[in-house]
Structure 1
């Protein structure tokens, strides 16, 4: 969506709020990914930066969001028995807090490539809204050797989320996807990152409106015969 859309805040000025709380915000995340392939970090961004993202997410009118589906481009299908969230893609040309978020994730992309040599080429992301009763069944973001998504990210934007509110992220074991290895409430400022081809995961039924930003670091799989699609 363009900068003139109803979801854009006029009061926020780009780069006016520091994105990170610490000088070295990526160290624990990088170590986790190197050791176990996934990481969940609380308060990843600064409090003010996360609050601005929460305000932005809440301002998006449902009429300006898409019913989420599965698959990409010509393979995209809406399957309400699989997932029921609504999304709005974040455009690199968006202004204000959206652009600052993408810039921060670009810093993370550089750090990931330097430390883990992943060859990450770009990052795509969208706001996601799960209304009461919405969910996303167990799935994997990329099948081995069949996609360009390398790392999945989810940033949660929900104030005072409680145990009875549902909407938990459940991550399953890499070697046995029937074994649950982590269940996490979508609390404000919590960031989950995991290898897209390795970890099945799901979103449990939400009992109140649930906001997040989902994204994927990708490698460039464009060849002379095939153009790597975005979104």
Structure 2
């Protein structure tokens, strides 16, 4: 677990597993190494300045569509293309191993993308697991925004899976990490007043159909 220990707060790692089992979600402030968060933020800001991000859509395959009235972020899939990405993805692989060891989840792989929200952008309430496709098991969000202040907006809301009432409001501060059950936890991103950067990711099971291995995206 050396990779994870160098990136994640060690004590919070144990709390993460406990909260996933008990509540179905977890949030940890100052969970990630801030130096790494800054390197990742610089990378996504550079991509945004170069207009190298893609407008995010909803759905997959034939159901994929651009709906800026639902989702307004721009994305770039992580591909091990930088030292910061490689360090982050290595830590997430170590976390995947721990989750499989302790919770027997059978997680197959991890996929993730940068998400950059320009001012005014939001993402309406949704679940991360696509209809009829339950291969996304645990969702993760890593926040990369330093000096985030009250009034800047962009908080993520977590809703109770039974009552659909808001139970948490998470400011997107650098170093904060949250994860939750993809099929169970409804969540929403409120409109942001400042450029907002994060990494959205999913631990997945292999969902093969007709002998074909399910692709990551």
Asked if these proteins are the same fold (TM beyond 0.5), I'd say yes
2:17 to 30, 35, 55: 30
Whether contact under 8 Å (1:73, 1:229) holds in the other structure is no
Partner residue, 2:124: 137
Instruction: Give runs of aligned pairs for residues 158-177 of structure 1, distance below 5 A.
Output: 158-177=145-164
Displacement of 1:25 in angstroms is 5.1
1:70 aligns with 2:86: no
SS at match of 1:161: coil
Q: How many residue pairs were aligned?
A: 213
On the 8 A contact 2:48/2:116 being kept in 1, the answer is no
Q: Distance in 2 between the 1:202 and 1:25 partners? A: 24
The structure 1 residue matched to 2:115, chosen from 112, 117, 128, is 128
- Asked whether the equivalents of residues 26 and 111 of structure 1 are also in contact (C-alpha less than 8 Å), the reply is no
Higher relative helix content:
2
Contact 2:26 2:179 in 1 (8 A): yes
Alpha-carbon RMSD across the aligned residues, in angstroms, is: 1.8
Contact 2:140 / 2:202 at 8 angstroms: preserved in 1?
yes
Within 5 Å, give how 1:1-231 maps onto structure 2: 18-22=6-10, 26-61=13-48, 63-91=51-79, 93-143=80-130, 146-177=133-164, 179-231=165-217
SS for the counterpart of 1:163 is coil
**Structure 1 range deviating more: 113-122 or 45-54:** 45-54
TM-score, length basis structure 2 = 0.92
C-alpha contact 1:141 1:196 (8 A) present in aligned 2: yes
Q: Is this contact kept in 2: 1:47–1:189, CA < 8 A?
A: yes
1:61 shift after superposition: 2.9
- Write the distance in 2 (CA, Å) between the matches of 1:220 and 1:36: 25
Residues 159-195 of structure 1: per-residue CA shift (max 9 Å, x gap) = 1111200101001011122x11111110111001000
CA apart distance, 1:34: 1.2
Given that 2:119 and 2:193 are in contact with CA atoms closer than 8 Å, whether structure 1 keeps it comes out as: yes
Residue 21 (structure 1) shift: 4.5
Whole-Å separation in 2 of the counterparts to 1:102 and 1:83:
25
Partner Cα separation in structure 2 for residue 96 and residue 168 of structure 1: 28
Q: 1: distance between equivalents of 2:141 and 2:62?
A: 25
Distance in 2, Cα, partners of 1:188 & 1:172: 22
Rate the CA distance shift 1:38–1:21 in 2: closer, same or farther, 3 A: closer
Contact 2:206 2:213 in 1 (8 A): no
Q: Which runs of 5+ in 1 are unaligned?
A: 1-14
